[in-house]
Amino acid sequence: MKAAVFHEHGSTENIKYEDFPDPEIGPDDCLIKVKAVALNGFEPMILGKTTALRTPLPMIPGGDIAGEVVELGANVDKDSWRPGDRVSLYPLIKGEGMIGESRLGGCCELVRVPADCLIPIPDGLGDVEAASLPVAYGTALRMMITRGKVKKGETVLILGAAGGVGVACVQMAHAAGCEVIACSSADWKLDKLRGLGADHVINTQDQDVRTWVYEKYGKPRMGEGGGVNVVVNYIGGDTWVDSLKIIHPEGRMLTCGASAGYATENDIRYIWTYEISIIGCNAWSRADQAETMRMVTDGEIEPVIHAVRPLSETGGAIQQLIDRDYFGKIVLQP
């Protein structure tokens, strides 16, 4: 089969579009023909080896896959699955880790997965849309709703709001009836965030977020208010302490990552003085993944697709992520 592969960590020049052996399936597996695969913020991190994860080489990137069942292993229930079924793949595989991170991903023509990773794609949902949902929308659903419990009338400030997870967080907070403040470093992305329901936008290149919040909502003070109810911060780095300083008494900080660095400074005084809850979120469930598909088919949210590119352009597409030259999801098709 054809695949986008890197044999060494490094830059996107290491990603080669080449012939790769077809996967062989075991008795509990299915062979899936990839129809669409979406990229995420961790693709550059894995390629560049900026995480502590051990990635076996060679590696095929891409964890968000929509495809079609081609072949079933001997033990797979033939009443549940048939060749030709359209499926979304739950990418966290027991004993194997995450597709595209610790085992071969979907930037190729065929993947092998255990049958219990298959989730049917509902009628009316396209392959590109289905591929765009798992990581970004699944994580946002878990972070904003399941763990973060954002509710109508709350003020929610989202840093890095123009990325895959961020766009989904803006859409979910808006759908929940929150007052949404979206932050990005580019005006063209902020215009799009307004179009998705952001009530306020902040360009972090020329506006200090803490100053903006203090001017708009006041400085947080116990018994008086001020600040915002919720900050969504998966940027980390030098944004972390300032985020603590803008949270309303008894407010929440939600996090699922650290794009700009995880070993951040902290200021514990703000956590106890203002009784701030810091809520972590890791991954999502199969049920969450199915729920994101239902939300789209029922018209509650619409996945934002920046571009659909051929699989042979995987390296260029990952470079687009590194250059932060996108809004929403970049999807590849074989």
Ligand X SMILES: NC(=O)c1ccc[n+]([C@@H]2O[C@H](COP(=O)([O-])OP(=O)(O)OC[C@H]3O[C@@H](n4cnc5c(N)ncnc54)[C@H](OP(=O)(O)O)[C@@H]3O)[C@@H](O)[C@H]2O)c1
The beta strands (E) that lie in the chain are given as: 2-6, 15-19, 29-38, 64-72, 86-89, 92-93, 97-98, 110-114, 118-120, 155-158, 179-184, 200-203, 228-232, 247-255, 277-280, 305-310, 329-333
Residue 308 CB, shortest distance to ligand X, in Å, is: 16
Closest CA to 40 of 56, 62, 65, 16: 62
> Which residue's beta carbon is nearest to the bound ligand X?
163
Residue 9 CB, shortest distance to ligand X, in Å, is: 16
Identity of the residue, 207 or 282, whose beta carbon is nearer to ligand X in the bound complex? 282
Residue 204 CB, shortest distance to ligand X, in Å, is: 6
Identity of the residue, 273 or 285, whose beta carbon is nearer to ligand X in the bound complex? 285
Residue 33 CB, shortest distance to ligand X, in Å, is: 25
- Binding-site ranges for ligand X (CB under 6 A): 40-42, 135-136, 139, 160, 162-166, 184-186, 189, 234-235, 237, 256-260, 282-283, 321, 324
Output the six-digit token pair for 187. Answer: 């005006």
Identity of the residue, 188 or 272, whose beta carbon is nearer to ligand X in the bound complex? 188
Identity of the residue, 87 or 235, whose beta carbon is nearer to ligand X in the bound complex? 235
Identity of the residue, 60 or 256, whose beta carbon is nearer to ligand X in the bound complex? 256
Residue 210 CB, shortest distance to ligand X, in Å, is: 15
Residue 51 CB, shortest distance to ligand X, in Å, is: 8
Identity of the residue, 69 or 253, whose beta carbon is nearer to ligand X in the bound complex? 253
Residue 198 CB, shortest distance to ligand X, in Å, is: 12
Which residues partner with 34 through β-bridges? Answer: 67
Which residues partner with 252 through β-bridges? Answer: 230, 277
User: How many CB atoms are closer than 10 A to CB 250?
Assistant: 12
Identity of the residue, 234 or 270, whose beta carbon is nearer to ligand X in the bound complex? 234
Residue 140 CB, shortest distance to ligand X, in Å, is: 9
**253: Cβ contacts below 8 Å, ≥ 6 apart:** 230, 231, 233, 243, 244, 247, 276, 277, 278, 279
Amino acid letter, 153: G
Q: How far apart are CA 291 and CA 212, in angstroms?
A: 35
CA-CA distances (angstroms) from residue 115 to 72, 254, 265? 8, 33, 43
Identity of the residue, 12 or 110, whose beta carbon is nearer to ligand X in the bound complex? 12
Q: How far apart are CA 117 and CA 272, in angstroms?
A: 42
Counting runs of H as helices and runs of E as strands, what totals does the chain give?
10, 17
Residue 327 CB, shortest distance to ligand X, in Å, is: 8
How many residues can be counted in the chain? 334
CA-CA distances (angstroms) from residue 188 to 161, 202, 306? 13, 12, 13
Q: What is the DSSP string of 88-121?
A: EEP-EETTTEEBTTTB--SSBSEEEEEGGGEEEP
Identity of the residue, 108 or 168, whose beta carbon is nearer to ligand X in the bound complex? 168
**Would you call 203 helix, strand, or coil by DSSP?**
strand
